[in-house]
Amino acid sequence: MQKRYLMAPGPVAVAPEILAKMSEPIIHHRSPQFSAILQRIREDLKYLFQTQNDVIMFASSGTGGMEASVVNLLSPGDTAIVIRAGKFGERWTELCEAYGIKAVNIDVPWGDAADISVVEQTLNAFPEAKAVFMQAHETSTGAKQPVKEIAALLKNRENTVLAVDAITALGVYELKTDEWGLDVVVTGSQKALALPPGLALVSVSEKAMNLAKKSTSPRYYFNFLSEKKAVAKQTTAFTPAVSLIMGLGTVLEDIKKTGLEAVFAHHARLAAGTRAAVSALGLELYTRVPSEAVTVVKTPDGIDGQALVKKLREEYGITIAGGQGQAKGKIFRISHMGHLSEWDMIIAIAAVERGLNNLGFSIELGRGVAAAQKYFAADR
């Protein structure tokens, strides 16, 4: 039985304790016992999201949360501004188009962050835009996007909300939902929360909820209003993913006990140690604005990133991610999210050293690992 290590930026490694929790006997979802658990989880989600608003849970992937944002905020014929800085930016546009919503796209070169002044000009040019859709962190490039700054641009625009796909950002680094004025924040269970996929979590501001009341977009399952009603009754509109929610309860307790600050510091530490190794190996990051969620590295000239990923997965049992879309074959991505520690980063680096060597790019074995060792040791 080959031992396998999951270090892709989602789905991520889940702690055995959480897997055990999720395999407990299923509680009926319409029971006082489950209601009590839901209540506590909903309070803890406010801590995680740094919000006083309700956080809605859908039994879906993160994309379900994105779809919910589109259909609840906008009606057919409405205009939205979409910041597209990678593959997940494109998804916002596809969702708008599917629902007859006009998407004004701001295209950002892959690996870059959106330019605030361009966003501002676009807002001025399209004052009818009811929403701005963006990623907090574009997982396909590893580039952090200027959420706080864009939120500031919207502070005095009464008729425009900001919806943020924070699927690989929330719980990874600082994201102040209420303080910064983020109307909708979406995340998924299979990233920083280190759960299996299957839960989308969406915080909704009052301003966003008012748009939901007016939206004529067809929707049933992904409906903010029916979920809000269910929250008041301490239940959910549809049958929830009970076992995932049990796992979520335990994860949230742990995050609360650890403290968000420490959780952010953990991701930052893994990222910094990994980057010390990348640099020692003479490799380059794909983005100048890297996030703490994932380290995205350019594969050296002449080396196919997909071949590297395949070698690690098939020969070494180690799953990291390659590139998507235009970055395919050009990069590899090491997650800092999930049930991972600095020791796992050492494995990832060791495996990259070996993989590159075996593909013909000569690297002195141990050099990257030594740099990470030194970083982690000094920092302790």
Binding interface with a second copy (CB under 8 A):
1-3, 5, 15-17, 19-20, 23, 251, 254, 258, 315-318, 339-341, 343-344, 346-347, 350-351, 353-354, 357-358, 364-367, 369-371, 373-374, 376-377, 380
Query: Which of 23, 234 has the CB closer to a second copy?
Result: 23
CB of 22 to a second copy, least distance (A): 10
- Nearest of 75, 56, 96 to residue 214 by alpha carbon: 75
The answer to whether residues 98 and 104 touch, using CB atoms and an 8 Å cutoff, is no
How far is residue 111's CA from residue 118's CA, in Å, rounded to a whole number? Answer: 17
Structure tokens at 264: 């952010």
- Nearest of 188, 189, 182, 137 to residue 293 by alpha carbon: 137
Beta strands 321-322 and 331-335, pairing class:
antiparallel
Query: Which of 3, 233 has the CB closer to a second copy?
Result: 3
CB of 134 to a second copy, least distance (A): 30
CB of 7 to a second copy, least distance (A): 11
CB of 63 to a second copy, least distance (A): 27
Helix (H) or strand (E) holding 269: helix 260-280
AA identity, residue 160: T
Query: Which of 131, 320 has the CB closer to a second copy?
Result: 320
The answer to whether residues 204 and 184 touch, using CB atoms and an 8 Å cutoff, is yes
User: Which residues have a Cβ under 8 Å from the Cβ of 312 and sit 6 or more positions away?
Assistant: 318, 319, 320, 351, 352, 355
Q: Would you call 221 exposed, middle or buried from its count of C-beta atoms within 10 A (0-12, 13-18, 19+)?
A: middle
CB of 92 to a second copy, least distance (A): 33
Query: Which of 210, 258 has the CB closer to a second copy?
Result: 258
Query: Which of 233, 257 has the CB closer to a second copy?
Result: 257
Query: Which of 71, 283 has the CB closer to a second copy?
Result: 283
Strand ranges for the chain from DSSP E: 5-6, 55-58, 79-84, 102-107, 131-135, 137-138, 143-144, 161-165, 184-188, 200-204, 294-298, 318-319, 321-322, 331-335
Residue whose pair of structure tokens reads 């020692």 in the numeric block: 280
CB of 182 to a second copy, least distance (A): 27
The answer to whether residues 303 and 356 touch, using CB atoms and an 8 Å cutoff, is yes
CB of 363 to a second copy, least distance (A): 10
For residue 165, how many other CB atoms are within 10 A of its CB? 29
Residue whose pair of structure tokens reads 């005095």 in the numeric block: 156
Query: Which of 245, 251 has the CB closer to a second copy?
Result: 251
Query: Which of 288, 380 has the CB closer to a second copy?
Result: 380
For residue 365, how many other CB atoms are within 10 A of its CB? 12
CB of 284 to a second copy, least distance (A): 21
Query: Which of 72, 295 has the CB closer to a second copy?
Result: 295
CB of 50 to a second copy, least distance (A): 21
Q: Which residues pair with 163 in a beta bridge?
A: 133, 184
> CA angle, 246 as apex, 243 and 252 as ends, to 5°?
140
CB of 77 to a second copy, least distance (A): 47
Query: Which of 268, 347 has the CB closer to a second copy?
Result: 347
